[in-house]
């Protein structure tokens, strides 16, 4: 079971802002790593964009599960994991991180922040520690607070999109993805394996 990325974002009225991110792309081959990282940022932003405030959701895309929590104050977190990683622990992690972040970083900085300007350094450590869910969260079996029935489940990324919207278009318009990543995506698409880059 594996965690690939952990991001903190702000869901602004106009757009979603990435505040801080940590990644573990060690399981990907060397040349894929920067593209994978870009796609994870792209995906995280898209998911927060399409999720309402005050909700939790899990979006499935092939072997990946993206867990998102958007707080009522517009602070949001996304964890990208594999399909073995227990979702309960993923949501515990998100809750914890957003809580800590909101105490360390002033609210006024959220709408205009970026990874370069935001002063929050604990993300890498959390990502690394939570790779082993039982070590990081020994009480995971007993956790009773979170009501799992309230978590929205999406079976594909596509189900987040509006009618008529195409993922291909969003990819090609994206500012987050570099040219190489977009090229990788096109090839993967042709082979009928969307996001096979990851």
Partner 1 sequence: MAETNEEVAVLVQRVVKDITNAFRRNPHMKELILSGTLNPIKDLHLGKLALTKFPKSPETWIHRRWVLQQLIQETSLPSFVTKGNLGTIPAERTQRLIQEEMEVCGEAAGRYPSNYNAWSHRIWVLQHLAKLDVKILLDELSSTKHWASMHVSDHSGFHYRQFLLKSLISQTVIDSSVMEQNCLRSEPALVLPKDEEAAASTEEPRINLPHLLEEEVEFSTDLIDSYPGHETLWCHRRHIFYLQHHLNGSQLSQAMEVDGLNDSSKQGYSQETKRLKRTPAPDSLGLEMEHRFIDQVLSTCRNVEQARFANAYRKWLVTLSQ
**Ranges within 38-67 binding partner 1 (CB under 8 A):** 63
Nearer to partner 1, 10 or 85 (CB): 85
Binding partner 1 (rule: CB under 8 A), the pick from 84, 99, 158, 169 is: 84
Tokens standing for residue 81 = 């994991």
- What is the 8-class DSSP label of residue 4? E
Count of chain residues binding partner 1 (CB under 8 A): 15
- The beta strands (E) that lie in 39-157 are given as 55-61, 64-70, 75-82, 152-154
**Ranges within 4-43 binding partner 1 (CB under 8 A):** 27, 29
In angstroms, the CA 98 to CA 105 distance is: 10
For position 149 contacting partner 1 by CB under 8 A, the verdict is yes
In angstroms, the CA 98 to CA 104 distance is: 10
Report, in Å, the least distance between residue 56 CB and partner 1: 14
Tokens standing for residue 17 = 């802002």
3-class secondary-structure state, position 21: strand
Stretch that binds partner 1, among 36-44, 49-57, 81-89, 100-108 (CB under 8 A): 81-89
Stretch that binds partner 1, among 33-41, 66-74, 128-136, 155-163 (CB under 8 A): 128-136
What are φ and ψ of residue 61, in 5° steps?
-145, 105
Nearer to partner 1, 117 or 132 (CB): 132
Specify the pairing of strand 64-70 against strand 75-82: antiparallel
Report, in Å, the least distance between residue 1 CB and partner 1: 6
Chain CA centroid to CA 9, Å: 9
Nearer to partner 1, 27 or 114 (CB): 27
Stretch that binds partner 1, among 48-56, 95-103, 114-122, 146-154 (CB under 8 A): 146-154
In angstroms, the CA 52 to CA 114 distance is: 22
Residues forming the site for partner 1 (CB under 8 A):
1, 27, 29, 63, 83-84, 86, 132-134, 140-141, 147-149
């Amino acid at each position: 079971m594996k965690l690939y990325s952990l991001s903190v974002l702000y869901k602004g009225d106009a757009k979603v802002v990435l505040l801080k991110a940590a990644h573990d792309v060690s399981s990907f081959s060397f040349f894929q790593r920067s593209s994978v990282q870009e796609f994870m940022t792209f995906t995280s932003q898209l998911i927060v964009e399409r999720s309402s405030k005050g909700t939790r959701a899990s979006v499935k895309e092939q072997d990946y599960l993206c867990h998102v929590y958007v707080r009522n104050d517009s602070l949001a977190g996304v964890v990208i994991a594999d399909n073995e990683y227990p979702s309960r622990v993923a949501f515990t992690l998100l809750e914890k991180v957003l809580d800590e972040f909101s105490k360390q970083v002033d609210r006024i900085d959220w709408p205009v922040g970026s990874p370069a300007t935001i002063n929050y350094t604990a993300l890498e450590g959390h990502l690394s520690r939570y790779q082993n869910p039982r070590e990081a969260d020994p009480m995971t079996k007993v956790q009773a607070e979170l009501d799992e029935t309230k978590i929205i489940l999406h079976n594909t990324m596509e189900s987040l999109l509006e009618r008529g919207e195409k993922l291909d278009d969003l990819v090609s318009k994206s500012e987050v993805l570099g040219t190489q990543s977009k090229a990788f995506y096109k090839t993967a698409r042709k082979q009928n394996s969307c996001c096979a880059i990851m």
